[in-house]
A and B are shown apart, each in its own frame.
Chain A
Amino acid sequence: MAENGEPWGASEAELDPVEYTLRKRLPHRLPRRPNDIYVNMKTDFKAQLARCQKLLEGSGGARGQGGCPEIYIHGLGLAINRAINIALQLQAGSFGALQVAANTSTVELVDELEPETNTREPLTRTRNNSAIHIRVFRVTPK
């Protein structure tokens, strides 16, 4: 779940509040692989970090597997900062076993404008927000 905690844009001023109510929609989501992690601002930072670590290290002694060789950390808007933070923390804590590679992108967000009067059609407007996708992967020590 990406957080669209971006503060209200300047476009807000144009909107006539008497005629429309703004309803934000969740960003478009692609099907999620098990090694995708969407960072948000609501969950505790430590918990999210621990989740990533758990994914990378595998589920302990029960299966004996090494976990995922790589994970993707996605952050949107306000959560970009935190995503980067998590990735760097992971890297720092791994003693050189993990590498990061970042990608940025733009995500189109949809806002719904619900009319307040019968005569108006509901509108949708799109705005863009930046996102980051960080690939954290294991490098084999040489």
Chain B
Amino acid sequence: MSNAREKKHAKKMRNQPTNVTLTSGFGITDEKGVKHHNGNEKSFHYQKQEPHAGAAQHQQPKSTHVSSEPCMNEQPSKGHCKGEKGKGQAGWRGGHQGATREIPKYITASTFAQARAAEINAMLKAVTQKSSNSLVFQTLPRHMRRRAMSHNVKRLPRRLREIAQKEAEKTEHQKKEHSKNKCRKARRCHLNLLLEFNRRQKKNVWLETHIWHAKRFHMVKKWGYCIGESPTVKSYRASYRAMTNHCLLQDLSYYCCLELNGKEEEILKALSRMCSIDTGLTFAAVHCLSGKRQGSLVLYRADKYPEEMLGPITFIWKSEDGTITTPINRKLWLWTHPTLKQDILTELKVVCQCVPLPEVAASIPEVVLTPPEEKSHIEQTKNCKKRKRDDGEKNANNPVKKIVGDGTRNPFQPYSWTSPATGIVISDLTMEMNRYRLIGPLSHSILTEALKTASLYTGIGDAETLPHSWWIETCKNPDRVAVHHHQEAIFELLGGIASPAEIPAGTILGLTVGDPRVNLPQKKSKALPNLEKCQDNEKVRQLRLEGVPVECSHSFIWNQDICKSVTENKISEKELNQMRSELMVPGSQLNLGHRESKIPILLIQQPGKVTGEDRLGWGSGWDILLPKGWGMAFWIPFIYRGARVGGLKEGLIHSRYKGAPSIPDDYPDCPAGILFATEQENNLLEKYKRHPPAKRPNYVKHGTLSPFRCPWEQLTRDWESRIKAQEESPVSPCSSANGKSDTGKEDTCVVEGEQVPQLTCETEALQDSPGEPEEMMDTDSQGATMSRDTTDEDICGKNGGRAKSTFNVLRNRKLLKYLSAWCQPVGRRNQAVLRASRMHQQELTRATCLSILCSYPRSLVWVSLSLLRKGNPELHTMICIPSKEDFLRLNEDRLYCGPQESKHSDPFKAKARKQKEKKKTEKGQKQERGTAGESRCTKGCSEVIPGLWLGPLPNITDHCSRTLLGFVTQGDFSLAAGCGRALGFVSLTGLLEMLSSQPADKRGLVLLRTPASLQYRFASIIIDI
């Protein structure tokens, strides 16, 4: 309403008599002119003045200060007031009728006129300024509007034309800035599109399925790649179901492959420095070395085990050819996550004593040469249109190639290194292959339906004219043909096996398949297991027991030349469609005959959940390796057979339900993991800061010291010092453990060396008789006397030897096995299990604990936690040790959820308030001193963020009423288990301490508390190995 009135008013003002607009020139024109002017129109003026003055009065609120102040100033100034006196006074009066002021006796004409001019100018400005952002023709009343006014200026009333013209030009100009320099048709032209695509993936490489993903996924730029994070459709539960009952497809082409080529002994010798048999099988494991199975292990910096972890990898050895009897050079592929690649590569180079290979660096694939060409192309097209056509012709001869593989690779950067000493050649095969992962029981039927093994070449003679000469060569070799037939038979058998989990873990099957696009179904369908194939015969049994024989793991994908030729000789989608359209019977099967490509692939079985007791074999599947360029040709057929596609998030869920640590989130001791943690902390902090303090949890009050980061180092350090304090106290270790849990009960925050003995002395008598099971008792008393002697030495040794302050993650399988057994509660049900395992198992005694602790003083253990009742663990949930009282209450009440943490006080509250006030005063006064003081203050202890702990953390283990043991890194409600499940790390020291003090039937029970809650929940620790 007000807007409309204003507009109306503006219009009225616009149509004011010309003298008003003329006065705007008054200030500029000299005095004479003014006089002259006034003299001429004096009579007219006097008549007109009155209504005008009235109008001015209405305007008064707006322009008071503009008008009045110059008047005030001019009052004392002397001047000559002659002819205009009367007129001026009249104007004056009109302006300030209500004001009780002395009427000036005289005024100066020039200054007065100037003041008026300024006034009028301001008024005019207010009038001409548009308050709304509508165009001129939109402000016209309805009856004056005409059709297509925005298009044709001449349809507007003449007085508005000029403004409309200006507006039109303005918008046109704006549009031009935003628009692309080409029309849409030109932009969508294949060649230009490709150029654009190549440009866009300079920084972050696109996978071959990028465009498919970009249409359906939320894409993220991570690790130098564009990766789909999760589908845009709702699919959390659907993808879980796909993993359990159907098939989930993932594009893992961003995984990096490093190839080691050299003598077997040399490679083994070099690599043995980077891994340890303690953590599991190494590169030298027999079944892996033969090339029959895939292996996985954790790499360390050379000779640094158990410190300085580099990252987890999987590896495959190329199987030795049965036909060739001189297997001198072996090939080994290491598959790593892109975040770990650089570290591992540099370490490999060190271990193998490698230098870059100059010749290989020069002969880089020609694909990389496209960027300069593309640049020149664009420049030329800009210059003139005529040359564009020429350029197009030129380009037709030398078309821009689509970047296949790694487009970011610098041509002058070597990707192959050789070692003169050992003869090992390391090459970086990143993006040279595609890797897809099929998860779920239906992956067998999808694979067998989508892929058909290549037909053998039977024709003779015209071998040279065909593109697939390598296949013709192999078909001439009877041994190769036999292997191919064998592989084909085994592949067919797969269709009859209901789940990939029934095949030995890590089985490798090489295969050569035909073009999967040829037998693409008309419609998307769902591949179901074929009942006819499901015969339980001897062959299937053999496959289930033994896996694939060694000779069948051979694949031509190991041969770079063949892969290159396969990539180059791919029939393009366009040609294929052309041929399809030329079929006699539309929709019938296309028969390419010998022109059909033969693609070497490698299938690797991925074991699902192998550890633990429940859901064995969950999430098992197959990885398929393809030569580059063939990504989409395999992708679409899989999807047409009913595979659901997942992104990074689904991959995370997969590893979480499997109980496996995901890369790089759950490797806090490797460089990539540390980087990830800091990034995550920053993100979470940013998100936290976006909420006002009243709308976000106050973590200080919740007793959460670091809600966005797991302070592993401090956790391990605190536990170490805590144990040391106990050791030094002159009581038997057994009772000191009991005493410690008592201190927890009494909510004492700090356990000091002096405090412990008093408490323990009191409790010793109480605890001895009812508390401990008998077996524990006698072993403890034995161990205690023994350990007293050793510990002192150990501690001395520890103090001397420990130079680094870093922590590490315990990966020693033997120890983990012990821990796993110790964590199980001794109930009636698993008594038998425990007895069976105890035959080779050490007892949990003080002595064993100490011996473990002195070799691993600062270690973390990967545990999985299962909530007993309610509770939904989150990221960074705290794992705490329950007190005796909690157990009592749990025994009394089976529905007892868990204790509550009492609210903490916020010591930073006053500080935060002070800072806020200071900021306020600063804003008001803008004192320079204040800011300096403030900055000095904040520099010292960083800015106070209300709700977060400020400055260095205090002892984190006993900040709350329950002693802190570790943190959860992944946690959620598990659809698979039907309760809250979490994965995380606990301190080894703390775990041993807890286990030895807990009653046997409640062993392994912990409390979980999410960062923004005061409620503890019971959970049981499971260590799967």
Residues of B within 8 A of A18 (CB): 840
Given contacts A31-B529, A118-B286, contact A24 B616 (CB under 8 A): yes
A142 at the interface (CB under 8 A from B): no
Per the 8 Å Cβ criterion, residues 832-886 of B in contact with A are: 832-833, 836, 839-840
Which residue in chain B gives the minimum CB-CB distance to A16?
B840
Residue ID in chain A nearest B501 by CB atoms = A26
CB-CB < 8 A to B286: which residues of A? 115, 118-121
A110 surroundings in chain B (CB, below 8 A): 502, 544-545
Contact A26 B617 (CB under 8 A): yes
Check B504 against A118 for contact (C-beta < 8 Å).
no
Stretch at the interface among B276-284, B754-762, B783-791: B276-284
In B975-1025, which residues have CB < 8 Å from any A CB?
Answer: 1025
- Asked if B501 and A31 make an inter-chain contact with CB atoms under 8 angstroms apart, the answer reads no
Please, which residue of chain B has its CB at the minimum distance from the CB of A30? B534
How far, in angstroms, from A52 to B284 measured CA to CA in the complex? 51
| Given contacts A118-B286, A126-B545, A31 and B534 within 8 Å (CB-CB) | yes
A46 contacts the other chain (CB 8 A): no
Given contacts A25-B502, A26-B499, A28-B498, contact A118 B284 (CB under 8 A): yes
Residues in B with CB closer than 8 Å to A121 are: 286-287
CB distance from B828 to the nearest CB of A (A): 13
Nearest Cβ distance between residue A39 and chain B, in whole angstroms? 16
Q: How distant is the Cα of A31 from the Cα of B441 in the complex, in angstroms?
A: 10
Asked if B285 is an interface residue, CB under 8 A from chain A, the answer is yes
B614, CB-defined interface residue at 8 Å: yes
Is the Cβ of A31 less than 8 Å from the Cβ of B531? yes
Bound form: Cα–Cα A122–B286 in Å:
9
CA distance in complex: A110, B547 (Å): 12
Which chain A residues lie closer than 8 Å to B293 at the CB level? 122
Specify which chain B residues have a CB less than 8 angstroms from the CB of A29 in the assembled complex: 498-499, 502
User: A17 at the A/B interface (Cβ < 8 Å)?
Assistant: yes
Are the CB atoms of B840 and A124 closer together than 8 Å? no
Interface residues of A in 20-52 (CB under 8 A from B): 21, 23-26, 28-31, 42
Is the pair B545, A25 in contact by a Cβ cutoff of 8 Å? no
B505, CB-defined interface residue at 8 Å: yes
Q: Cα distance A124–B543 when bound, in Å? A: 11
Partner of A31, one of B282, B287, B498, B544: B498
Complex CA–CA separation, A108 to B541 (angstroms) = 10
Q: Which residue of A lies closest to B533 (CB)?
A: A31
Chain B residues near A12 (CB-CB < 8 A): 836
What chain A residues lie within 8 Å of B529 (beta carbons)?
Answer: 31
Choice from B281, B544, B616, B1025 contacting A115 with Cβ under 8 Å: B281
**Interface presence of B227 (CB below 8 A):** no
Q: Are A118 and B277 closer than 8 Å at their CB atoms?
A: yes
A7 touches B813 (CB 8 A): no
Please report whether the interface of chain B is mostly helix, strand, loop or mixed according to DSSP. loop
- Report if A26-B504 is in contact (Cβ < 8 Å); known contacts: A8-B836, A120-B286, A124-B545: no
User: How many residues on chain A are close to B (CB under 8 Å)?
Assistant: 29
CB-CB < 8 A to B281: which residues of A? 115-116, 118
B290 and chain A: residue at smallest CB distance:
A121
* Option from B285, B541, B545, B832 in Cβ contact (under 8 Å) with A7: B832
B810 within 8 Å of A (CB atoms): no
Cβ of A117 < 8 Å from any Cβ of B? yes
A70, CB-defined interface residue at 8 Å:
no
- Contact of B359 with A by CB under 8 A: no
With contacts A115-B285, A122-B504, A126-B545 taken as known, whether A8 is within 8 angstroms of B614 at the C-beta atoms is: no
Interchain CA distance A122-B503 in the complex, whole Å: 13
In the bound complex, residues from chain B placing their C-beta under 8 Å from that of A42 are: 614
Q: Is B536 an interface residue (CB 8 A)?
A: yes
Contacts of A24 in B (CB 8 A): 616
Q: In the assembly, what is the distance between CA of A110 and CA of B531, in Å?
A: 22
Hey, which chain B residues are within 8 Å of A117, CB to CB? 277
CB contacts (< 8 Å) of A13 on chain B: these are: 839
Q: Kindly identify, within residues 523 to 541 of chain B, every residue whose CB is under 8 Å from any CB belonging to chain A.
A: 528-529, 531, 534, 536, 541
Within 8 A of B (CB), among A86-119: 108, 110, 112, 115-119
Q: Which residues of B contact A120 (CB under 8 A)?
A: 286
* A28 B536 Cβ-Cβ under 8 A: yes
- Which of A21, A31, A124 lies in contact with B546, CB distance below 8 A? A124
Tell me the complex Cα distance, A126–B610, Å.
17
When the two chains form their complex, are residues A118 and B285 in contact, meaning their CB atoms are under 8 A apart? yes
Q: For the complex, what is the distance from the CA of A23 to the CA of B505, rounded to whole Å? A: 10
Determine the distance from Cα of A21 to Cα of B612 in the docked complex, in whole angstroms: 12
Shortest Cβ distance from B614 into A: residue: A42
- Name the A residues within 8 Å of B610 (CB-CB): 23
Which residues on the A side are within 8 Å of B536 (C-beta)?
A: 28
Q: Which residues of B contact A21 (CB under 8 A)?
A: 1025
Inter-chain CA distance A23–B608, complex, in Å, is 12
A95 to chain B, nearest CB (A): 34
B440: min CB distance to chain A, Å: 13
- Chain A, Cβ-Cβ closest to B1025: A21
| Cα-based distance from A12 to B614 in the complex (angstroms) | 20
For A25, give its contact among B616, B813, B1025 (CB under 8 Å): B616
Q: How far is the CB of B247 from chain A (nearest CB, A)?
A: 14
Taking a contact as CB atoms under 8 Å apart, the answer to whether B498 and A116 are in contact is no
In the complex, the chain A residue whose C-beta lies closest to that of B441 is A29
Complex interface residues of chain A between 51 and 99 (CB less than 8 A to chain B)? none
- Please encode chain A, from 123 to 134, with 1 for each CB lying within 8 Å of some chain B CB and 0 for all others: 010100000000
Report chain A residues within 8 Å CB of B616: 23-26
- Asked whether A116 lies within 8 Å of B284 as measured between CB atoms, the reply is no
11 further A-B pairs in the complex, CB-CB below 8 A; given A25-B617, A115-B281, A122-B293: A8-B832, A23-B505, A26-B501, A28-B497, A29-B499, A110-B545, A116-B281, A117-B277, A118-B277, A118-B284, A126-B545
Interface positions of A (Cβ within 8 A of B)? 7-8, 12-13, 17-18, 21, 23-26, 28-31, 42, 108, 110, 112, 115-122, 124, 126
* 12 pairs from A and B in contact (CB 8 Å cutoff): A23-B616, A26-B502, A26-B616, A26-B617, A28-B498, A28-B536, A42-B614, A108-B541, A115-B286, A115-B287, A118-B286, A126-B545
